[in-house]
Amino acid sequence: MFRIEKRPQPSRLWTYLTPLVAVVITMIVGGALFAALGKNPVEAIRTIFWDPLFGEFSFYYRPQLLVKAAPLILIAIGLSLGFRAGIWNIGAEGQYIIGALTGAGVGLAFYPLEAAYIFPLMVLAGALGGWAWGMIPAVLKTRFGTNEILVSLMLVYVAEQLLAKMALGLLRNPDGRGFPGSRNLQQYSSAHNAEIIAGTGVHWGVVAALIAVIFAYILFTRHVLGFHIRLTGQSPKAARFAGVNPARLALICLGLSGALAGLAGMFEVSGPAGQINIDFNVGYGFTAIIVAFLGRLHPVGILLAGLLLALTFIGGENAESNLGLPAAAIQMFQGMLLFFLLAVDVLTHYRLRWKSAEVA
Amino acid sequence: MDLSSINPTLLLASLIVASTPILLAALGELVVERAGVLNLGVEGMMITGAICGFAIAVNTGSPFVGFIAAAMGGALLALLFGVLTQFALANQVASGLALTLFGLGLSALLGQGYQGIKPPPTNSLDIPFLSDLPILGPILFSHDLMVYLALALVAAVWFVLNRTRAGLILRAVGENHGAAHALGYKVIRIRIMAILFGGACAGLGGAYLSLVRVPQWTEGMTAGSGWIALALVVFASWKAGRILLGAWLFGGISVLQLNLQAAGVAIPVEYLSMSPYLITILVLVIMSADKSRAPGSLGRTFHASD
Amino acid sequence: MSLTRFLASAVVALGLAGTALAEDKTKVGFIYVGPVGDGGWTYEHDQGRLAVEEHFGDKVETVFQESVPEGADAERAITQMALQGADLIFTTSFGYMDATINVASKFPDVKFEHATGFKTADNVSVYSARFYEGRAIQGHIAGKMTKSNVIGYIASFPIPEVIRGINAAYIHAKAVNPDVEFKIIWVYTWFDPPKEADAATALIDQGADVILQHTDSTAPQAAAEKAGVISFGQASDMAEYAPLPRVSSIIDNWAPYYIARTQAVMDGTWESTETWDGIAPGMVEIGEISDAVPADVKTEALEMKRLIAAGEYHPFTGPLNKQDGTAWLADGEVADDGTLLGMDFYVEGITAEIPK
């Protein structure tokens, strides 16, 4: 039978190979699923993975890929800081919502004034809002030793209720004929996170995501904080001997990841989404957790994982409307992709050994 | 405002029904977490149970068979999580989230063709004498079998965890898997069993929604119940008795706010809706000072060579 | 410089793509907010889509995308349909309003139809149904049928559409039963079966023996059935709950409108319009009134339907006061559409408050 043995070193080869293996397995199993639903599997797989990148309308989808991937990457980078140190913020969805609320709130407070300083203020407010929401579990953890996984998760629901309250109350568009939802920031040019170069999909959130990737890369390879984070993750005891203050680290990691999630929410609400609404959040905060792990908590990996997930979202939508695949099948397909990516990851850190017979 | 129109007896009776799905799911998750595994896929397992139970009950005409199928469906999906996290050693948080995504898709696909159908009725027990008691009768003795099963399960889980050797081993595995392994316990086997139990319970909870509480099948019908069940486990600080209390509190607040509204009390619905979560956080903070805390190995991957 | 040229050519390509693919078949796209199997709102829009296919046969091709979140994803989904050569796109939720307008400005040759919104453009029409006409008839039946004089109302969000429905139902229930009382629960969701079921149970527990709902699932029907009270289908006929508890229903019938608009695109006669249709053209249908309703009540209800359809009766006809007692409509005066569209007040007699 097979036995799993830990590798002394993570395999470099498999680090690069496993994502490809997972994608191929998903294509095969997913293709079988699509065939079972009476669709041409090759066409379906091509629609999901190929068409958005190289198909007839790729000039539209490639920019959209960036729009979809940017919040995922921005949040996942923040999460990876904490995850590497063993600090588990799974409430990024809540921090994302609060960042959007504070960001949009500041912008709407100035309406209809047009001024160049409004957008920078909104960016600041978004980051601060997310930071503050992230600091709640951080402070409770350092003060009382409360489990941050659970507090941050609980705060997601609280944030969702606040969002509904704001969309129906304080931030409701006075000219919206009583419907829930704020003014559309896309129509308020001082607060609009517009594309920096039209038609490329690159808005400030995309720029921020790229900066975050570079920043995280430098942090982990060059900076003492990155060293402390890694050390704490590997051995909290050793870290303490090295003079790392675990409380300070938790405050920094949770605060930073909250701020980045808040930024992502702010860029989303002022750009692609346009308005605060009851259903504003579509799960970026949770999906980003998956992105962080798929990217192996490495900045470049996260960049690629974010793009891959964005591809399945966009390609999946195309398959829905072009081939008439039910949304459920696409959801399952994405679930499968994640399963396989997670499953084959074992090969990076462990190797399979064939054992002919157990020695008694 | 007319508070007198709220009938406390009926309120308590509907509270018990409303809290049963999350009670079942949370009990399962409690056992899983006590074994040191964090499975965030409760929502996915619940909804899979909901459709499995519904489809089988409709096809066989028996809600009882439906509930069994729901437990099996939930357990099967949980097995997927077990294989990923215990054999492939994948990260539990990410695997659980992926499980939810997968379960929602799978259930929607399985459920095509079951919309707008009425399931066979699950009858309430009519216990002679007891059901006719004033006040206590409607509150306690006029429900369907699953309500009592859920309550019995609370007691059973408490007993097994605290009073049996099996429970001791399970808790040992959850507290310190390295030490448990050194003592010769099969950490992975025990955890897989806990995960299967958790899946079965979540499946039952889902089926209670689709067969009794709503009762019908619609896509996405669990609407976040699985996440509430997760919160509940924490709220209960990993204790079976407190799960019951928590389920009634969570179920109670939602039922109460609807009743207050119907009685014409102008309440800020959002603030009331967020209160169970805030209370949970408060409980967590208070508990942190207390001895009862999360199992030591919760969420950590175990491999014998570690 | 070269970039702008590239973009310019891309835009040309967009336009070309829009027309080139659509040589003979007319392609009609639909964007849905829920799953097609929700049994209510989205289900009825999809029935409309199927009716278009049935009516035109080989001359049309329809595509749809379900469960599209409102916001950035909606804009992409609509653009995607336009790119794939749709000639006409129906966006079937209020939250798609700005996304529809944005996409429409990029695809001047594609026609857009936005449900329940109020922003139009040269290639964007809006359409909605006067559901309140159906609510008035429901109110009449409910007022006659209730024995406890308590009518439960499950409301979704405090928006004019929902408030209008409550008022219409209340006015006509009150007209036939002066003792009637409305209990209203806001569930803050369009679709959450367990919550809707709980809301129905709460209302029934507090003495309601008629349940009206402005949410999309059939969960309240099941709760009503269990408790032995009566209910009305919403958005869809929900006929599987007839004859009891469901005694009648309001059906959104989009098929005639969708067929007419598709025909207009085929004929090249499509123009931007604002449609708010009711019972008369068949956009709002009253589902079969079941035998659980006494014959005389049924006759009265059908008579009211006939009068509304003929334009002889408007459900909001004075004298009517607002909840605070101030005069709203004088005797014989009829509410104007502007007030109805922005309705943010209850009429006199309703004791509840609209949540702020």
Q: Which residues of B touch A345 (CB under 8 A)?
A: 88, 90
Q: Tell me how many residue pairs between chain A and chain B have CB atoms under 8 A apart.
A: 147
Please report the ipTM that was assigned to this predicted complex: 0.85
- The shortest CB-CB distance from C207 to any of B5, B209, B222 is to B5
pLDDT at C10 over 60: no
Given this model, what pLDDT does residue B8 score?
A: 79
pTM over the 0.80 mark? yes
**B92 three-state secondary structure:** helix
In this complex, the residue of A169, A272, A282 whose CB is nearest that of residue C356 is A169
The confidence score (pLDDT) of residue C17 equals 45
| Integer CA distances (angstroms), A178 to A167, B157, C163, in order | 11, 50, 10
Chain C, 101-120: which have a CB under 8 Å from a chain B CB? Answer: none
Per-residue model confidence as pLDDT tens for chain A (360 residues): 567 777 777 777 877 788 788 888 988 999 998 998 888 999 999 998 898 898 888 888 999 999 999 999 999 999 999 988 888 888 999 999 999 999 999 999 998 889 999 999 999 999 999 999 999 999 998 988 887 877 888 899 899 989 988 988 888 888 877 788 889 888 888 889 888 888 788 899 999 999 999 999 999 888 888 888 888 887 778 888 888 888 899 999 999 999 999 999 999 999 988 899 888 888 899 889 888 988 888 999 999 999 999 998 899 888 888 888 888 888 888 888 888 888 887 777 777 776 655 444
What are C's interface residues with A at a Cβ cutoff of 8 A?
A: 3, 7, 10, 13-14, 17, 29, 35, 63-67, 69-73, 75-77, 79-81, 83-84, 94-95, 98, 102, 118, 157-160, 163, 188, 341-344, 355-356
Cβ proximity of A166 and A276 under 8 Å:
yes
CB pair distance less than 8 Å for B91 and A342: yes
Q: Is C217 on the interface with B (CB under 8 A)?
A: yes
Put simply, the answer to whether B116 touches C202 (Cβ < 8 Å) is no
Question: B203-235 burial string, b = 16+ CB within 10 Å, else e?
Answer: bbbbbbbbbbbbbbbbbbbbbebbbbbbbbbbb
B90 and A345 within 8 Å at the Cβ level: the answer is yes
Instruction: Dig out the tokens for B100 from the structure.
Output: 């939810």
**Percent of chain B at pLDDT exceeding 70:** 92
Helix, strand, coil percent content, chain B, rounded in steps of 5: 70, 0, 30
The percent of residues above 90 in pLDDT, for chain C, comes to 61
> Helix (H, G, I), strand (E, B), or coil: what is residue C328?
strand
pLDDT band at B2 (very low <50, low <70, confident <90, very high): low
pLDDT at C6: 46
Alpha helix (H) ranges present in B35-91? 42-60, 63-82
Q: Which chain A residues touch C158 with a CB distance below 8 Å?
A: 168, 178
pLDDT at A323: 86
pLDDT tens digits, A176-188: 777 888 898 888 8
Residues of chain B found within 8 Å of residue C194, distances taken between Cβ atoms: 18, 21, 209, 213-214, 221-223, 225
Q: Give me the pLDDT at residue C320, please.
A: 93
pLDDT grade for C19, boundaries at 50, 70 and 90: very low
Nearest to B89 among A161, A164, A346 (CB): A346
Rounded mean pLDDT, B285-298: 71
pLDDT tens for C186-208 read 888 888 888 898 899 999 988 89
Q: Name which of A187, A273, A321 is nearest C64 (Cβ-Cβ).
A: A321
The interface residues of chain B toward chain A in range 189-228, judged by CB-CB distance below 8 A, are 219, 227
State whether B209 and C194 contact (CB < 8 Å).
yes
**Which runs of E-coded beta strand occur in chain C?**
26-31, 60-65, 88-91, 111-115, 124-129, 150-155, 181-186, 210-213, 230-233, 246-252, 274-277, 284-287, 320-321, 327-329
pLDDT band at C4 (very low <50, low <70, confident <90, very high): very low
pLDDT digits (tens, 9 = 90+) for B189-231: 999 999 999 999 999 999 999 998 888 888 778 877 898 898 8
B167 and chain A in contact, CB less than 8 A: no
Chain B, chain C: beta-carbon pairs less than 8 Å apart: 104
Question: Residue B85's closest chain A neighbor by CA?
Answer: A343
A335 touches chain C (CB under 8 A): no
Which whole number is the average pLDDT over C229-245? 84
* Chain CA centroid to CA C201, Å: 25
